[in-house]
Structure 1
């Protein structure tokens, strides 16, 4: 049985996340329907991670096994002809033993904030637009608190707190071009809501509503972070293979 690996992208605006959910439009569900039309068999797709409703992916990796075998170029053309415009498959290859959940070496997320009263229609679906002026320097300094191996249980969903919440955040960097702020984070894995709550806490700090000690309290598990940045600003930028 060939093991197909897909590199795809999607705009998350009209999806209820990656994972199949009853009666909801999800990326995994739409992709599964298209592949089953092509192969005429039940397809079980494994994704590299779950993304929340409204979150985008510039790169996402998935894999599936089939009984039938198709040339990868023919399959690429066939699946893209069936998929809606908000999902695109960039590349397909066969790699035995590859598991999208366990074989990837890391992920890079970028969160984008448009710190302006102005609205750019081309950016709007992919940014959290905040008119309140943010102190970029304070946010940049505070971001260093998250680097390294930490317990991020205060930054995940409470239902997930019994899971392994020790994550090594290998990179967090902030950049600013005019009114557009980008926050880049890299790690082998992330907890649910982790990136959005890190960003949420940095935004609150940038607005002067919390201080460095508040973030330190979250990281020491003295308090749970109550701030979650909007999903639309988050993009899974790259999957490290």
Structure 2
């Protein structure tokens, strides 16, 4: 079964829009774990517009499931991750003003930078994953960075799925096979939802984990967090 990590950024966005501590982000992380998710993901940004640095430390202290921190590897982010020591860090090439992650790493141009950053995290025993699209050259070169995993950027799949699922999935199947052949484990995330997740999970070989936030939290507004997590996990059972 593919593991589900729930990104709780949107819960923090709702809290920050009003001030105070409603909804309680730390409680949400505990509940996500209680309701059966395999992991919790957060993506702290420099302006703290959703997840705050304090949230990251508070969550690390109360959950026992896998903790994944996403972010651009600025010096501040690197230090935060080393202090918190999550199970996994996922590196994204987002500029600070990005609304959401919308591109993968060019592992050729950024090879030296990524190698240095990943080496730092490995000294702390933190598993690394890098956000990447399906460009074969970038997948093939990812292994040179020293990363343990790649996270396939799935927005193009989600967009194309509505029109032609087979055409949409094809480059991701190729990318997954290429990554596996290179010795990399495979995660995926971005715009995966209850409509497209099952097909993706069934067709992508060697898929270890998906990270889902926006769609899952939006669904939870209508059907509740516990039931929503259960529904998403049901999509991840390998046929």
- Shared fold per TM-score greater than 0.5: no
Could you tell me the TM-score, scaled by structure 1's length? 0.29
Which structure has the larger Rg over C-alpha atoms? 1
The structure that is helix-richer by fraction is: 2
